[in-house]
Amino acid sequence: MKFFVDTADVPAIAELNDLGMVDGVTTNPSLIKKSGRDILEVTKEICDLVAGPVSAEVIATEADAMIAEGRKLADIAENIAVKLPLTWDGLKACKVLSDEGKMVNVTLCFSANQALLAAKAGATFISPFIGRLDDINLDGMELIEDIRTIYDNYAFETEILAASIRSVNHVLDSARIGADVITAPPEVIKKLASHPLTDKGLATFLEDAKAAGIKIV
């Protein structure tokens, strides 16, 4: 499974990247706003830092404007994935940009039917939003399962990028189902290493080492 980091915080990306935990990055206007920086500037810096795809989202809502904006974003670096909303205009833009050889991440997916359309339009990635479905008492993981089944049935090459990850269980369930990619905030990725029994065991080892007078220089 590929790990994308869902942030525009360059130091946080760099820390995880140094550990080999970054296969790509996803950004959006909200994350860029939090960074307080120019969208083109911060996106270029992230692209220079990581080797994998960096999703940069358009803000236009009409197909022709999305295409123009997507081309501008794609010019930032070779590893840009143009991020488009799953609307009819977004699908039109996806078809044009993907036919031009650009990576496209179709986002805000909430149904398997939408995912099917995105695959047929040539999307590189489809981003189903798990957490937002959970927020309205629907099971976000069922959507991942449905998309996985459909894509496997017809050998679609579009990668399932599980998004709106809120917990370590979302990551685990996505991996079990077979999502190709998860994108999560840095803090969620770091929590994957945490377990109370690990902490307890380490504390015991350190106490025993101290009692035995063990020192390693």
> Catalytic site residues?
83
Cα 32–36–37 angle (5° rounding)? 75
DSSP string, the chain: -EEEEE---HHHHHHHHHTT--SEEE--HHHHHHHTS-HHHHHHHHHHH-SS-EEEE----SHHHHHHHHHHHHTS-TTEEEEEESSHHHHHHHHHHHHTT-EEEEEEE-SHHHHHHHHHTT-SEEEEBHHHHHHTT--HHHHHHHHHHHHHHHT--PEEEEBS--SHHHHHHHHHHT-SEEEE-HHHHHHTT--HHHHHHHHHHHHHHHHTT----
Q: How many C-beta atoms lie closer than 10 Å to residue 34's C-beta?
A: 11
* Ramachandran angles phi, psi of 83, nearest 5°: -100, 120
Establish how many alpha carbons lie within 13 A of residue 133's alpha carbon, considering only the half-sphere containing its beta carbon.
Answer: 21
